[in-house]
Structure 1
């Protein structure tokens, strides 16, 4: 059971399990909007006022969001490293050939 106005754990899981490629654009936009609303509502509502199911769902979502953010951060760091290395090679080759 979810708290009033909040997505149930089952609805959240269904949103995650269904591949984005199988969802129509309207559903993807709706999932994004309702997910953002639910995150905001979960952050604004004190834990003492949440049902146990909603509290557990918010905790799981928070952990999932943290993991996703860390993954994006690591991917960006790797991309930055490759970009820096590529630029270094270009600079070195430019210096060696007299082209910059």
Structure 2
């Protein structure tokens, strides 16, 4: 399984349910960077190399641009 470098699903959920108005500038910037890294790693990892949790996370959250 290749989840190394991927954003934890609990972090994704917390980021998704927290309104942007309640995030600090640093928090918003961190989300953008970690989401970009997560998407890049996810896009370059085949589904067979992803754990079930990461496959589900990718299906639920998809790629954010």
TM-score band (shorter)? 0.7 to 0.9
Shift of 1:20: 0.7
CA-based RMSD of the aligned residues comes to: 1.9
Aligned to 1:84: none
Report the Cα distance in structure 1 between the residues aligned to 2:10 and 2:60, rounded to whole angstroms.
13
Normalising by structure 2, what TM-score?
0.86
Specify the SS of the correspondent of 2:26: helix
Greater relative CO (CA pairs within 8 A, separation 6+): 2
Equivalences, count: 64
Normalising by structure 1, what TM-score?
0.58
Aligned to 1:51: 51
Specify the SS of the correspondent of 2:31: helix
Higher helix share: 1
Shift of 1:50: 0.4
Report the Cα distance in structure 2 between the residues aligned to 1:16 and 1:61, rounded to whole angstroms.
9
Report the Cα distance in structure 1 between the residues aligned to 2:21 and 2:5, rounded to whole angstroms.
27
- Is the counterpart of residue 17 in structure 1 residue 17 in structure 2? yes
Aligned to 1:60: 60
Structure 1 residue runs of 5 or longer lacking an equivalent are 70-100
